[in-house]
Amino acid sequence: MELKVLDLFCGMGGFSLGFAMEGFIVIGVDKSRNVAKTYLYNLKKYNEKNEFIKKDLNKEIIKTDAPIIIGSPPCKPWSPLNTRRKGASHQDYICINAYFNHILANKPLIFIFENVPQIENDPILKKNLQKISQDYDYVIRNIRYSDYGAPTKRKRLFIFAFRKDLGLNLQEFLKELDEIGQKMPKKLVKDVIGHLVDVPEGKIKDHEWHKINFEKYGEKIKKKLYGCERIKWDDFFPSKGNLQKVLTLHPLLDRSLSIKENLLLMGFPNSYEFPEGLSKWGRYQMIADAVSPTFSNVIAKALKKVLK
């Protein structure tokens, strides 16, 4: 049986991708035209039934019969990399309400929420969790992607919720999640981008990089100011924002990481590509905002086991 998954604030589709790899039908929703192109360009490779809906989720509720809703509302109001407008003063703050309004309107069997760990104690999250607590059993977990087979040690908050009348055991799912994660091979930086060291810029799709003015930024990189640093070859990839903003050097070469390398370090498969016509900045930003598909695939595998 093909199960449908609705992905709210889907971005480039990292969250959806892990489910698509396991045969789920995914429907992504976002308001960006560039996101739509990228999502469909890649997710249609897995199943022609995979869809994209271009909507502003703050203005409209998407009605669905999908038994699973996933999503990662914009994290900028809580992100430590955002040093300007924070919390309720940020325009994206209300996206949390939009996500949970979709849960209340559709009452899916399962929902999964992703964001930065800093959101956990925000009143807006607590208020929305109170609204759904009568109908759902849920758990909040801070997940480090590298513990589940991804090359990045980015840490993210996930909420896993099962509807109480479903008859499924949430703890059984969490046990499956961790068991699958423990079996995943550990991948370091060198394991996923080592083959690109001698590949010239532009030789393969998306292998292009932001040019760094070393005369201007050399001292910041040397002192690791504002997150600027050279990543380590024999380590996991550190959690970074847009690599065009946070100057991150290749472990061996005097250049920034390419878009392709960034994709691989976030756990995207080698087959994932951006369509033509997207700016370099836009592609870097989409990757920075993405859920690692390596981890979402572990989630999908665990769900398949408990839903049998």
CATH code (residue 175): 3.40.50.150
Residue 1 pLDDT grade (very low, low, confident, very high; cuts 50, 70, 90): low
143 and 201 both lie in a single domain:
no
173 and 199 both lie in a single domain:
no
262 and 137 both lie in a single domain:
no
278 and 220 both lie in a single domain:
yes
Task: Calculate mean pLDDT across residues 183-190.
Answer: 96
pLDDT in tens, 206-239: 999 988 877 776 676 666 665 677 899 999 999 7
Pairing of strands 110-115, 229-230: unpaired
55 and 24 both lie in a single domain:
yes
146 and 163 both lie in a single domain:
yes
Tell whether the model's pLDDT for residue 115 goes beyond 80. Answer: yes
14 and 112 both lie in a single domain:
yes
**Helix spans in 166-279 (H):** 170-183, 189-193, 214-223, 259-265
Which residue is listed with tokens 């087979």? 149
111 and 211 both lie in a single domain:
no
123 and 237 both lie in a single domain:
no
The Cα 271–Cα 286 span in angstroms is 17
Give every CB contact of residue 9 below 8 A, 6+ residues apart in sequence.
29, 30, 57, 71, 72, 73, 74, 95, 99
Look at the chain and count its residues.
308
Which residues are the active-site residues? 75
What pLDDT does residue 244 have? 55
Query: 228: domain CATH number?
Result: 3.90.120.10
Give every CB contact of residue 18 below 8 A, 6+ residues apart in sequence.
291, 293, 294, 295, 296, 297, 298, 299, 300
pTM of the model: 0.94
298 and 173 both lie in a single domain:
yes
Phi, psi of 159 (to 5 degrees): -115, 120
253 is in which domain, residue-wise? 189-288
Overall number of domains in the chain: 2
> What are 30's strand-pairing partners?
54
The Cα 270–Cα 261 span in angstroms is 10
29 and 77 both lie in a single domain:
yes
41 and 119 both lie in a single domain:
yes
Higher-pLDDT residue of 276 and 249 is: 276
